[in-house]
Structure 1
Amino acid sequence: MENMRNSNIFILFSFLILIFRFSNALDCSSPPKVIDVNQSGQGGSFTTIQSAIDSIPEPNTQWTHIRISAGIYIENVVIDQNTPCIFLEGTGSYSTIIQGSKHKKSGLRDAVTFVSLADDIVAKDIAFENTYNHPSFAHVNVADVIPALAAEVRGNRIAFYNCSFKGVQDTLWNNTGLHYYNHCYIQGAVDFIYGDGQSIYQKCTIKFTRGIDEPNKDGIITAQKRHSPDSTTGFVFKECNITGTNDKAQLGRAYGPYSKVIIANSYLSNVVQPEGWSNWEKAVEHLTYVEVNNTGPGAENSKHVKWMKTLSENELKSFLDISYVDKDGWIAKQRSVNNF
């Protein structure tokens, strides 16, 4: 009996240590540890991004700065939930490219080029691409287009700066959590920004296109999945450029019954379809689709659906302010600690 009690105490003590270590990981101690990735392996650097991530001990408690040299890295990268506190930095979204072509008709996790499941992740100057549905690769036609994701983002306090996301269907899966995108480029054709995240996209370019030699077919930009009236999730686009090529796209359709998308102070090109939005057979009174202070031919919304919402000045401010995703100042702290 005494041995059993001691064993239980040891198990409890070990469990408390794990909890303590995990809670500390969310604080992300500094200064950052630096790891280099270079396809040549020069200077003892890692040759793949995944091997650099795998070298970080779990659970991670220290900011780890992974510097990625220019190159096209053909690999599928996963940041496990026990490896938070990572800053991925490339040399530019035109020169440091993570590229994959995985696809699947079910089990989306297997169809993603970059998967981030941890809290406290930053990426800067990197492109994330899924080439599977891209017509220029000549292995699909329009009837075969299926989910093939460039990135899945799950976790809190996730930020992307000067990054690009390229795909066709389901390019960027904002799964759950607080996310911030600044000066990013997001490209796709069908539901290419989707999920149940709470996200701000600031000064981003959102481009509807199926790629080189694209077929003629309309598309949808967002599919936000807010699932209840109590949920705070939603997509906020501010100071963005929404553009496209050839055909027209809806600004969004309701993936969830309480879907929420706000577009403000942005430029909307003539890529926007006349009706603007679709309820996707959801009850329109529960949807929150808002357009305010936008310019461009697509901002003419007299023919847009009549069930768009109008917010009060205070309501609008609560979404447009950075506190919508950052009540605790985590964005400034991440930038300060990682010195960018």
Structure 2
Amino acid sequence: MDVSLPYKKIGYSTKKITVDPKGHHGCFSTIQSAIDSIPSNNRYWTSINIKEGIYREKLKIPYDKPYIIIQGAGMSKTIVEWNDHATTLQSPTFFTMADNIVVRFISFRNSYNNPRNSNPWAPAVAAMVSGDKTYFYNVGFFGFQDTLWDDQGRHYYKNCLIQGAVDFIFGAGQSIYEECSISVIASALGQGIAGFITAQGRTGENDANGFVFKNCNVYGDGTTYLGRPWRAYARVLFYNTNMSDIVVPTGWAPWYFADHENYIQFAEYGNIGAGSKTNKRVKWLKKLDWTTVNIMASDSFVDNEGWLKIASEI
């Protein structure tokens, strides 16, 4: 199936499904059962409206179910949580594989280490995003290590809250995070141990993917690096972002790629706040000109065909 058909050929939302944890007549009692009810190779926008409540379940949108809108009652009102950690791949509370997905007004939590407890640290993913053209608005992601697996595809996160301590935004997605709150809970790591916000996974110098943080707010407790490379050509830009003093002066770490830092594209531009000073940053921090910054920070970095406008308005 070609899920890249022009949007004018795809029906706008013609079907609405309601999820109510009390299972009232005509409603599904679980979110997954509502997802399962949508036919494979779906060609019409279908909205799953989820009422307020805490839903103890794991969710999966398979690759053959595009054009789904997941809509809760509010980031703090509709919460999906689970506590898997067996393997990183098997742990996500929410896993979306399909293209053309919209998610808004809801939170996903992996409760294995969040709230902090006596469990040993382990990768425990709150959400894994593997489809293309996926839009998140007012969505919360709560975890500790590996909170948000921004795996692959083009994604846009607007007004979201992402919380964690270690590599809690990672993967090889081609993504813009706009006006998002990056909540660091690194004090739980112990005295003198800093966290890491990003672990980007770009594998080749010509790969288009990378993370752009635009007009965001970095805050929390403990101390943190802005990121470290998960793969050799990692690419991350923090732009016009407010950074509190939790950001360590060096800003970035090379992880496995010491002595190969010239491949890494970590950059900062126009940031403010006590943690934004670059005079003590690593020497291999990339200095980008405005033209390059503007290319990465514009919507066209993730959208050159109009999908973002539809996703934000539907």
TM-score (norm 1): 0.88
Which position in structure 2 is the counterpart of 1:6?
none
Query: 1:23: how far off?
Result: 5.9
Which position in structure 2 is the counterpart of 1:8?
none
Which position in structure 2 is the counterpart of 1:266?
241
Specify the code of the residue in structure 2 equivalent to 1:188. G
RMSD: 1.7
* Alignment counterpart, residue 72 of structure 2, candidates 67, 90, 94: 90
Which position in structure 1 is the counterpart of 2:55?
73
* Alignment counterpart, residue 106 of structure 2, candidates 107, 113, 126: 126
Query: 1:210: how far off?
Result: 5.1
Specify the code of the residue in structure 2 equivalent to 1:36. T
Which position in structure 2 is the counterpart of 1:103?
85
Query: 1:94: how far off?
Result: 0.4
* SS of structure 2 residue aligned to 1:128: strand
* SS of structure 2 residue aligned to 1:52: helix
Alignment of 1:155-304 (within 5 A): 155-209=131-185, 215-216=190-191, 217-245=193-221, 247-282=222-257, 283-304=260-281
Specify the code of the residue in structure 2 equivalent to 1:91. A
Does residue 112 in structure 1 map to residue 92 in structure 2?
A: yes
Contact 1:268 1:297 (C-alpha < 8 Å) held by counterparts = yes
Partners in 2 of 1:182 and 1:34 — Cα distance?
23
Output one character per residue of 1:202-226: Cα deviation in whole Å (capped at 9) or x when no partner: 0000011058x77443210000000
Distance verdict in 2 for CA 1:31–1:149, change over 3 Å: closer
Partners in 1 of 2:241 and 2:305 — Cα distance?
26
Specify the code of the residue in structure 1 equivalent to 2:101. I
Alignment of 1:298-317 (within 5 A): 298-317=275-294
Output one character per residue of 1:119-171: Cα deviation in whole Å (capped at 9) or x when no partner: 000001000000101354x341xxx2011000000111101000110000000
Partners in 2 of 1:28 and 1:241 — Cα distance?
36
Contact 2:186 2:223 (C-alpha < 8 Å) held by counterparts = no
Distance verdict in 2 for CA 1:295–1:40, change over 3 Å: same
Contact 2:189 2:195 (C-alpha < 8 Å) held by counterparts = no
Query: 1:334: how far off?
Result: 2.2
Partners in 2 of 1:332 and 1:32 — Cα distance?
18
Distance verdict in 2 for CA 1:25–1:49, change over 3 Å: farther
Partners in 2 of 1:192 and 1:85 — Cα distance?
27
Specify the code of the residue in structure 2 equivalent to 1:132. Y
Partners in 1 of 2:284 and 2:186 — Cα distance?
29
Contact 1:157 1:177 (C-alpha < 8 Å) held by counterparts = yes
* SS of structure 2 residue aligned to 1:333: helix
Contact 2:18 2:49 (C-alpha < 8 Å) held by counterparts = yes
Specify the code of the residue in structure 2 equivalent to 1:170. D
Q: Which runs of 5+ in 2 are unaligned?
A: none
Contact 1:25 1:62 (C-alpha < 8 Å) held by counterparts = no
Partners in 2 of 1:215 and 1:178 — Cα distance?
35
Query: 1:310: how far off?
Result: 1.1
Specify the code of the residue in structure 1 equivalent to 2:280. K
Specify the code of the residue in structure 2 equivalent to 1:120. N
Query: 1:275: how far off?
Result: 1.0
Query: 1:279: how far off?
Result: 1.3
Specify the code of the residue in structure 2 equivalent to 1:324. F
Larger Rg: 1
Partners in 2 of 1:219 and 1:309 — Cα distance?
21
Alignment of 1:53-72 (within 5 A): 53-72=35-54
**Segments of 4+ moved more than 3 angstroms:** 22-28, 213-217
Query: 1:301: how far off?
Result: 1.4
Distance verdict in 2 for CA 1:312–1:24, change over 3 Å: closer
Contact 2:13 2:47 (C-alpha < 8 Å) held by counterparts = no
Partners in 2 of 1:214 and 1:68 — Cα distance?
35
Query: 1:313: how far off?
Result: 1.8
* SS of structure 2 residue aligned to 1:318: helix
TM-score (norm 2): 0.95
Query: 1:262: how far off?
Result: 0.2
Distance verdict in 2 for CA 1:210–1:271, change over 3 Å: closer
Specify the code of the residue in structure 2 equivalent to 1:236. V
Specify the code of the residue in structure 2 equivalent to 1:117. M
